[in-house]
Amino acid sequence: MVPPWYFPDAKFATINVPIDEMHDCVDVLRNEKPVYAHLNSDVPGYNGLCTGKERAGEEES
């Protein structure tokens, strides 16, 4: 798999996942709010998505 990249000057990053995990990422982007991207210029392997304070998949109370 291609390693993730982060270009601070261009404000551009990649988050690479295996194709068999792509459905999970699309599901998070479609159904969870808010979604944040974490970008790390020192360790691009830590780039990722998170959904904030509530755990992914949990409904609002």
Q: Is pLDDT larger for residue 10 or for residue 57? A: 10
- How far apart are alpha carbons 24 and 40 in whole angstroms? 22
Q: Is 59 part of any domain?
A: no
- How far apart are alpha carbons 18 and 56 in whole angstroms? 20
Contact 13, 7 (CB under 8 A): yes
pLDDT at 53: 65
User: Residue length, the chain?
Assistant: 61
- How far apart are alpha carbons 34 and 16 in whole angstroms? 21
Q: Cα Rg for the chain, rounded, in angstroms?
A: 13
Domain total in the chain: 1
Could you read off the pLDDT of 2-54 as tens digits, one per residue? 788 888 888 888 888 889 999 998 998 899 888 888 777 788 778 888 887 65
What's the pTM? 0.57
Q: Residue 29 is part of which domain span?
A: 6-50
pLDDT at 13: 84
